[in-house]
Amino acid sequence: MRKILVLAAVAAGIAGSAQAADITGAGATFPFPIYSKWAEAYKKEAGVGLNYQSIGSGGGIRQIKAKTVAFGATDAPLKGEDLSKDGLIQFPTVMGGVVPAVNIAGVEPGKLKLSGEIIAQIYLGDIKKWNDPKIAALNAGLTLPDANINPVYRSDGSGTTFVFTDYLSKVSADWKSKIGANTAVQWPVGIGGKGNEGVSASVKQVANSIGYVEYAYAKQNKLSHALVKNADGNFPAPEEKAFQAAAANANWSEQPGFGISLNNQKGAEAWPITSATFILVHAKPEKPEEVQAALKFFDWAYKGGDKLASDLDYVALPANVKDQVRNAWKGVTDNAGKPIF
């Protein structure tokens, strides 16, 4: 299938008009719905706005390295050596799930069942029809069309792509050897959409398509989604308890900057494509007051934003992890070497 680039409007500039006191951030589209909700509530309570550009994780990493924003946001955590090299501190904010969104006439949300191996074969171009015997075998009683599958992928540097391809690399040796996991990969087939917004729009517009989006986007855009076989062989619904189950045994101190993978975790109810999303700030910022304002915002979110996160089907961090993050913030210092939080 010929690759087609689909451009979508990038969501940007939330929680009121930009003011000098506004906090600036840019990056991942995965958490944009919850950052938007938090910003709206924080503006009313603290009088400080947030100007967050939902441009993708790759863009967020570039902007924080260029020091054009107070914080960058990424779903693909940076490795310890990269954090040290660029003088960055990384911490998670919330967790969520990535779901296969589908547009198949007559197939209601949660009725189609897929395995990770099948999804990998679809995106490799090896499974081309919705009524392929491998798909039909998982979906007895479901009428699937004799129609070509139209895969949709992210065209921009994307942490959601990293989460999705990391999952496929864990469940498919073929995918791991041919494509691998990264924020941008060489897709063998499909059409591209920019941001979770662009993929959602493409799936909605293109018949017989499949894409991958953060669950809140699928829900808000009323997209049909498929269930995915987890490591225990079950097909849990993508919902808060399934994302929590995936993180139940997580060891957040295992990697520098809390950069662990929650994909394909054991657990009867665990959603197999689950991820935290991360914030990046400079350990020694040139404008410490701006980073201090950002940390105050996220501290407020940790204390009072869990319900808003849950309403959008994100999962709040455990209280002990929030405390670990606050402790990590002590590494952010002003020009005199004094912690700013």
Residue with tokens 């665990």, as numbered in its chain: 270
Q: What is the pLDDT of residues 274-294, one digit of tens each?
A: 999 999 999 999 999 999 999
> Do residues 190 and 69 share a domain?
no
C-alpha 166/C-alpha 164 separation (Å) is 5
241 shares a domain with 108:
yes
Count CA atoms closer than 13 A to 67's CA, side-chain side: 10
Quick one: pLDDT at residue 213?
94
- Whether 7 has a pLDDT exceeding 80, the answer reads no
Q: pTM of the predicted model, to two decimals?
A: 0.86
323: containing domain: 23-96+276-330
Check whether residue 116 and residue 152 sit in a common domain: yes
- For residue 12, pLDDT beyond 60: no
Asked if 106 and 144 sit in the same domain, the reply is: yes
**Residue 221 pLDDT level (bands cut at 50, 70, 90):** confident
pLDDT in tens, 170-202: 999 999 999 999 999 999 999 999 988 899 999
Lowest mean pLDDT among 64-68, 118-122, 248-252: 248-252
Determine the pLDDT at residue 11.
38
Q: What's residue 74's pLDDT?
A: 96
Q: How confident is the model at residue 261 (pLDDT cuts 50, 70, 90)?
A: very high
How many independent structural domains does the chain possess? 2
14 pLDDT more than 80: no
Say if 70 falls within a structural domain.
yes
CA angle 47, 93, 325 (to 5 degrees): 100
What's 295's domain CATH number? 3.40.190.10
Domain annotation covers residue 33: yes
Same-domain status, 299 and 232: no
Output the CA torsion sign for 265, 167, 252, 215.
negative
Identify each DSSP E strand in 155-226 by its residue range. Answer: 191-193, 209-214, 224-225
